[in-house]
Amino acid sequence: MRGGARAFWENGAMDMPEFLHAIPKVSLHLHLMGSVQARTVVDLATKHGVPLPEYDEPEDLYDYPDIYKFLHMYDNSALAVIDREDFHRLAYETLTDAAAHNVRYREMFFNPTTHMAAGVSYETAVDGLIDGMRDAQTDHGIECRLIAAVNRMETPELAVTMVETMLEHPRDEVIGIGMDYAEAEFPPERFWKAYRMAGDAGLHLTAHSSEDAPPRNIETCLDLLGCERIDHGYHVVESEAIMQRCVDEQVIFTCTPVSTAWVYFGNDLDNHPIKTMAARGIKLMLDCDDPPMFKTDPSKDYVLAYEHMGFGVSDFRRFMLNGIDGCWVTDDTKARWRSEFTAEFDALAAKID
């Protein structure tokens, strides 16, 4: 591994937060626009003359009472990302930050139609992101692939257009589609056509599901849309039958404690459904969703899950392996990562106080 992130514990014992920072990670649930530092939003808004809400410190921009206001800020930031080098900057910065938390591989959501609404072409966005991903890999050793996410608050027709645009401009780095924005009033079945088109073209499929809606959305995503993973899925705990099915079929859930405790679960991590999901045998991994926008980072979600959900070393080892199983990489790569990551994880675990 490159960089100096390891130095502070190299000669001695470490506590649990240090351990959780140090362990190797894959990241399967992170949104590009949610991962932009507030000062970068201010820089780009200044560069392009894009208005922002009033603020004293840039971080004040990231303060909102509910998901709709959060998404409003998310879209406002996106209006300030115009040039290919802006996209390079966003990808490079979020991956540099991830590498400092020992993230080795990320599959990152971005919203093509959000950028296209700001007048940016799909190719400009995607090629700028790929530029940043390549530089981050060279400088920090972190690998990244892209998932184009359907904004479910827009029309099914626009989602089809998004997939058509992707297929007209194929890039090796763009490996799947997802679905995000607010779920409650925009159920997944609206998007069956876009998912069918993407699946037929060989793209991987995932969707935010049952984040803020009944567990039947999970079955819709698995059976109608053909999803290989479920992003969030917390309301699965409300259906014994669907939960058992997901356990039996070893469906991978990508869960984000901090961002969803704040929005949906009364900011109560101690009673977050992730605890029950793990106890019932759901195959889940942890990630950080929109880190600066929810005042978290790739290690902090793990640390808070440790402090509030009672997870121990063996749980985090399982979550790490679940994440590897969920990656859209070859079986050979997964086998190599399983052996490399577990060796590193176990050596670190031996140093815990």
For residue 248 the two structure tokens come to 């039996």
The footprint of Zn ion on residues 247-306 (CB under 5 A) is 289
Query: Do you know the residue count of the chain?
Result: 353
The 2-31 site mask, x for binding ligand ADE (CB under 6 A), equals -----------------------------x
For ligand ADE, the closer CB: 113 or 259:
259
Asked if residue 212 binds Zn ion (CB under 5 A), the reply is no
Contact in structure between 41 and 73 (CB atoms under 8 Å): no
Measured in degrees and rounded to the nearest 5, phi and psi for residue 102 equal 65, 30
For ligand ADE, the closer CB: 258 or 324:
258
- Report what 152 binds from Zn ion, ligand ADE, none; CB cut-off 5-8 Å by kind: none
Beta strands at 103-110 and 25-27: parallel, antiparallel or unpaired = parallel
Specify the DSSP class assigned to residue 319: H
For ligand ADE, the closer CB: 101 or 208:
208
DSSP lists the bridge partners of residue 103 as 25
CA–CA separation, 22 and 8 (whole Å):
10
Asked if residue 219 binds Zn ion (CB under 5 A), the reply is no
The footprint of ligand ADE on residues 236-265 (CB under 6 A) is 259
Indicate the SS3 state at residue 331: helix
Judged by CB under 6 A, the residue of 289, 300, 306, 345 near ligand ADE is 289
Smallest distance from ligand ADE to CB 74, Å:
6
For Zn ion, the closer CB: 97 or 289:
289
Beta strands at 204-209 and 25-27: parallel, antiparallel or unpaired = unpaired
Measured in degrees and rounded to the nearest 5, phi and psi for residue 157 equal -65, -40
Indicate the SS3 state at residue 25: strand
The 159-198 site mask, x for binding ligand ADE (CB under 6 A), equals ---------------------xx-----------------
For ligand ADE, the closer CB: 86 or 211:
211
DSSP string computed for 175-204: EEEEEES--TTS-GGGGHHHHHHHHHTT-E
Smallest distance from ligand ADE to CB 125, Å:
16
Asked if residue 34 binds ligand ADE (CB under 6 A), the reply is yes
The footprint of ligand ADE on residues 200-239 (CB under 6 A) is 208, 211
Smallest distance from ligand ADE to CB 31, Å:
4
Nearest residue to ligand ADE on Cβ basis:
180
CA–CA separation, 288 and 259 (whole Å):
7
- Count of residues engaged in binding Zn ion, rule: CB under 5 A: 1
CA–CA separation, 167 and 172 (whole Å):
11
For ligand ADE, the closer CB: 154 or 180:
180
For ligand ADE, the closer CB: 18 or 290:
290
Beta strand residue intervals within 4-90, DSSP E: 25-27
Contact in structure between 109 and 180 (CB atoms under 8 Å): yes
Ramachandran class of 312: left when φ > 0, alpha when ψ lies in -120 to 50, beta otherwise: beta
Which positions lie near ligand ADE, rule CB under 6 A?
Answer: 31, 34, 74, 180-181, 208, 211, 259, 289-290
Binding site for Zn ion (CB under 5 A): 289
